[in-house]
Chain A
Amino acid sequence: MDATTKSEPTHMKNRTTVERKSERELVVTRTINGPVRLVFEAWTKPELFRQWWVPKSLGMSLLSCEMDVRVGGRYRLEFAHGDSQLAFFGTYREVTPHSRLVWTNEESDEGPVTTVTFAEKGGKTLLVMHELYPSKEALDAAGTGAADAMAETFEQLDELLVTLAASSGRRET
């Protein structure tokens, strides 16, 4: 045992913030407990990227992940969500090691341009993810958009069905 293993500081969970900066922009920030070199690696190597991009709570699984991380290189992610499949793809516009990644989201005409900046401070990395949508409508649609509205509607219906099933069960007994 050497000195470096002595009481690792307890990893406090870092806060993730999301802010709508303007009609067309969303900004997500988070500090990651590690040097920028490793954080950047985790964003740019597919075998690492696929380990974290699809958290279990998303209810999706990643079928394939191809990333050609260089300016003009393309990426493609394919997901299974229930019985359906979804693909996300686009092009890397800027790749500046350990500091900046910019890519397009081309699965729809209304997809944003995503910029991620990496800044190291005291062995930790501050990530700022900025999404610029082509229009206010595109960002609105991404948020309270069609699929979402329908999903919410059906969620509400589901809830009602559960409530009704419960109360009709009670009535029968």
Chain B
Amino acid sequence: MVQYAQARLDHAFAALSDATRRGVLERLGRSDASITDLAEKFHMTLTGMKKHVGVLEQAGLVTTEKIGRVRTCTLGPRRLEQETAWLERYRQLWDARFDELDKVVNELKRKEKTDGRNDKE
């Protein structure tokens, strides 16, 4: 188990140690792209980009799928799960925010009540 984790960690660190590969991750964060797209975008040869993508793939940071003659790269092995996880995090942020809003509104209600009473007195 430890060795497995160690190997994954080595791969991930090695993958992230390179500025181009970090750029590729950032680019794939916006949308999927073919190796050709990526090579063009980063002014590289196809072979050079294939190597970078291979390193990212080995680290589990990117998956690729060949459809016809085009190899498409996608961020992470579990992109769908990531999207669901993101929506849930977003929900939690708004939930926490609205809990605070509830408190503020409650406080305003309380103040209004007291002020109203004071006016009458």
Chain A residues at the B interface, C-beta cutoff of 8 Å: 4, 11, 13-14, 16-18, 20, 26, 28, 30, 32-35, 38-39, 41-42, 48, 51-58, 125, 127, 129, 137, 140-141, 143-150, 152-153, 156-157, 160-161, 163-164, 167-168
Contact = CB atoms under 8 A, between A and B. Distances in A.
A55 B29 contact: no
Contacts of B108: 34, 38, 41-42, 48
B61 A144 contact: no
Nearest to B107: A51
B44 interface: no
Which label, helix, strand, loop or mixed, suits the secondary structure of the A interface?
Answer: helix
Q: How many residues of B sit at the interface, in one of the four size bands? A: 35 or more
B55 interface: no
B71 interface: no
Interface of B: 1-2, 5-6, 8-9, 12-13, 16, 22, 25-31, 61, 75-76, 79, 82-83, 86-87, 90-106, 108-109, 112-113
